[in-house]
Amino acid sequence: MVNKTKTAVLLINLGSPSAPTAQAVRPYLRQFLSDRRVVEVNPILWNLILRLAILPFRSPVSAKRYESVWLPEGSPLIVYTERLAKKLQKAFDEEGSAVKVAFAMRYGEPDQDRIFRELHEKEGFDNIVVLPLYPQYSATTTASVADILGASLAKMRSQPHWHLIRDYHDNPEYARAIAASIKAYWKTKGELGEKDRLVLSFHGMPKRYCDLGDPYDRQVRKSAQMIIDELGIAPEEAVIAYQSRFGKEEWLQPYLTPQLERLAAEGVERVDILCPGFSIDCLETLEEVSDEARQTFLSKGGKEYNYIECLNDSSDAVSLIKNLVSKHL
């Protein structure tokens, strides 16, 4: 069939190493942590620290963490992102829309720059909607995707029409989908009692970046409020936390570990936790939040810890993303 509209949707996620080994993690971390959007310090000094102190030590430690969540098909982040892309493709096909769905990663493979340029230069798509799979905008994630998009366009004489969806933190369908996944969980496990709490855990970042104008923390609070409103629970039944701190600098607070320790100390018995800032389950949700943080809460006296999965390739996720991108097709 001839594709008349030549429109493509490109889903972008963060990316993973090619294997859960120190040899594979090292180049991935080098690419990721050399991104000036991610680590904003003196580049000459940072390059030294990265090569001499971070990469040799963090690569084997990260590899072990990746190994604990790795699937037979590969990294969960990539496997589930691909499944989401395939289901989105099917949804467009079924309604007869001539839209191609592709996916790429900001770091590692499939490489964002290559995929974007192939879509236009090899496959002839002249309208490309790019959706970074981060509900909340951050310069460390979304702007970094935009940087590569700009670099790809800089290599083109004839550029496609393109659109970057900056964020969807306050999209009502997003809040409804997250709330629906929590409610579905409560249907099977029972609602929260007086001594129980819902924890919404978001990826952290240096506080300095937000002080300098990154709207991420504001968007996180707005998303959390919309999810709480959608659930119809009292504000004190839910707590926000920031996970995945890296380095010595102050990051956005409250941090997840002390937050869980505090809840346990205050006599909270059950915690239901999910990560609304992640579209797709990955190392940071499956290992850090579902596994490591569980040990923290239970070892401090908590009785029950329930990790609720990301939207991943659920029908709600497909519908949400289809509606997000359809406005730009």
Ligand X SMILES: C=CC1=C(C)c2cc3[nH]c(cc4nc(cc5[nH]c(cc1n2)c(C)c5CCC(=O)O)C(CCC(=O)O)=C4C)c(C)c3C=C
Where do contacts with ligand X occur on this chain (CB under 6 A)? 14, 16, 29, 33, 38-39, 58, 62, 75, 77, 134, 138, 140-141, 203, 205, 216, 244, 246, 277-278, 282-284
Q: Which is nearer to ligand X, 7 or 140 (CB)?
A: 140
Q: Supply the minimum distance, in Å, between the C-beta of residue 242 and ligand X.
A: 9
Q: Supply the minimum distance, in Å, between the C-beta of residue 42 and ligand X.
A: 15
Q: Are 2 and 64 in contact (CB under 8 A)?
A: no
Burial of 9 (0-12, 13-18, 19+ CB in 10 A): buried
> Identity (one letter) of the amino acid at 276?
P
Tokens 């607070």 sit on residue: 253
Q: Which is nearer to ligand X, 16 or 312 (CB)?
A: 16
Q: Which is nearer to ligand X, 200 or 205 (CB)?
A: 205
| Residue-wise burial string across 77-98, b where 16 or more C-beta atoms lie within 10 A, e elsewhere | bbbbbbbbbebbbebbeeeeee
Q: Supply the minimum distance, in Å, between the C-beta of residue 115 and ligand X.
A: 17
Annotated binding site for Fe(2+): 203, 284
Token pair recorded at residue 327: 């406005």
Tokens 């550029």 sit on residue: 159
Q: Which is nearer to ligand X, 272 or 284 (CB)?
A: 284
Q: Supply the minimum distance, in Å, between the C-beta of residue 25 and ligand X.
A: 7
CA–CA gap between residue 199 and residue 201 (Å, rounded): 6
